[in-house]
Chain A
């Protein structure tokens, strides 16, 4: 259905704008940390997973060795492996499309794919969202690295709330069963409770354990 496809693309662009705007913060922070503009842009284009990028510059900013930053970034990047486990059967990619698609496996593209009912729409949701976030995230990184904080704080526009709301809207259709609702609430509680205690990004990985435990234990 053409209208369904149009709507997916429209939603993908909206997610790209809300998420991409944070590239400005990333670019500005990276340069403030001592990276040059090219290094900031390389991180956004080549690493392309926000949590890992912020962790990398966060460790370096705190005086850590760049390699310690790399280790933290890789730990956080492992959540994209978990997303891939779900996406692989959903998208059914092989060869070059898989090699190219892999770079686009992030929170937002996964969320926009797993809510679809068939492969065609899942692929559209995945690639449209992945590409729109990729383009805007990289442009915003460049702008942030060049212009710094003069471009303003995304929070003044409420974009920090928009990102949480987008994740909620994407999760919403999956909350139809009591088991899924219980898992979502438990995972959110675990992540929030751990937030002050462990390095950034780890809470979400531990919360993934809730799904593993539930998946192993629950019979539907």
Chain B
């Protein structure tokens, strides 16, 4: 029986190292590979019950529209009415799904999406300017802060975007097969600021 080696969404396309303008690193970019993703959708009329179940199981309140909520390694990102993208830092995909299924029972649908998205993390003092070359959402700290999230259309992709730190650090998820073009766009957009890409 052969063993199958997993490969991350961007592995074939991501070239670690310095890109763009020499001598500066305004933007840092990496693929987030150690993070399980699942979609949680409340069944009809179960939103409140689900919220309590999640508080009990995860110790966190499900975030309202355009917000995220985190506890320990798990982050809930609001992506629509009664719908959340859940990330489990350093978790095996199945563990996250199992945990969620256990917590939600018959209150919500849980779908593993760990492999359905390319997930990147963008940081650096020029990250906002680079992102502004495609993202229509106002990312200025007065409008978008740590814990804020947006589902939007950027460049040519549907994106889920959320901020994880004030420094700032953003996470951006797109459909897996769009990852290559996302990366290409980000690299081009960040090039004038100098871009550090790591795996």
Do the two shown chains form a genuine complex with each other? no
Interfacial residues, chain A to chain B (CB-CB below 8 A) = none
